[in-house]
Amino acid sequence: MLLAVNGLIKTYQTGEGPLRVLDGVSLALDAGQSLALTGESGSGKSTLLHLVAGLDTADAGAILLAGQDVAGASDSARAALRRSTVGLVFQQFNLIPSLDVGANLSFQARLAGRHDPALVAELAETLGLSAVLTRYPEQLSGGQQQRVAIGRTLAARPLLVLADEPTGNLDEATGDAVLDLMLRLVAQTGAALLMVTHSPRLAARLDSRLHLAHGRVA
């Protein structure tokens, strides 16, 4: 088992008092599997991804990723895990302004010591970025920046890809091509994919689905 999440609880303090966003969520994901995470806005989907990525800490519960205790790890250990094991595709692009598209695409792979020029070229072609490799993020549209962020993540061949609505700003054809590529890389490398989506059509293409409602598995 690549990822095991057990009894996660997360509460945020608000002006109206404590708000429990996750209330005892558990899931398991094997290497090579894909799981769609669905639910209404505010159901805790993005919070769950942030906790698995080690970007936030849970109030209670356990997260084991590739045998490592994410929930109990230090900040530096979680950062190392994100460099070498986890690939993040979130709604914030977080591209490096001083690097062109080609350098942004290969940045994460170089950090992980897994730079593969052939894979970067394939990703650029699939994502429709081959003609803009020398441009900088500020010269791209929002949709193009999102495609660069997706390509940067996949280029590093992570063991686990965490994707929060990765095709949300793409047209249907490009979105389908991106998902095809993500699923193919998962199959080729034995990685796993945990993807938040509001699209029943896209969710149906993954191996399984987990629906959240009010912070619980529905």
pLDDT means per 10 residues in the chain (218 residues)? 96 93 96 94 93 94 94 90 89 91 96 93 91 97 88 92 87 84 81 92 94 94
Q: Is residue 97 part of a domain?
A: yes
Q: Is residue 3 part of a domain?
A: no
Per-residue pLDDT at 11 = 96
Q: How far apart are CA 17 and CA 177, in angstroms?
A: 43
Q: Would you tell me how many other CB atoms lie within 10 Å of the CB of residue 19?
A: 13
Q: Which two tokens stand for residue 128?
A: 């429709």
Q: Is residue 183 part of a domain?
A: yes
Structurally, how many domains does the chain consist of? 1
Q: Is residue 146 part of a domain?
A: yes
Contacts of residue 29, Cβ cutoff 8 Å, sequence gap at least 6: 1, 2, 3, 4, 35, 160, 192, 194
Partner residues linked to 18 by β-bridges = 13
Q: What is the pTM of this model?
A: 0.89
Per-residue pLDDT at 98 = 97
Q: Is residue 148 part of a domain?
A: yes
Per-residue pLDDT at 124 = 93
Closest to 205 in 3D by CA, of 177, 169, 164, 170: 177
Q: Is residue 8 part of a domain?
A: no
Q: Is residue 109 part of a domain?
A: yes
Closest to 150 in 3D by CA, of 93, 107, 191: 93
Q: Which domain holds residue 128?
A: 32-54+75-217
Q: Using CB atoms within 10 Å of the CB of residue 215, give its burial: 0 to 12 exposed, 13 to 18 middle, 19+ buried.
A: buried
Q: Is residue 25 part of a domain?
A: no
Q: Give the CATH number, domain containing residue 83.
A: 3.40.50.300
Per-residue pLDDT at 169 = 77
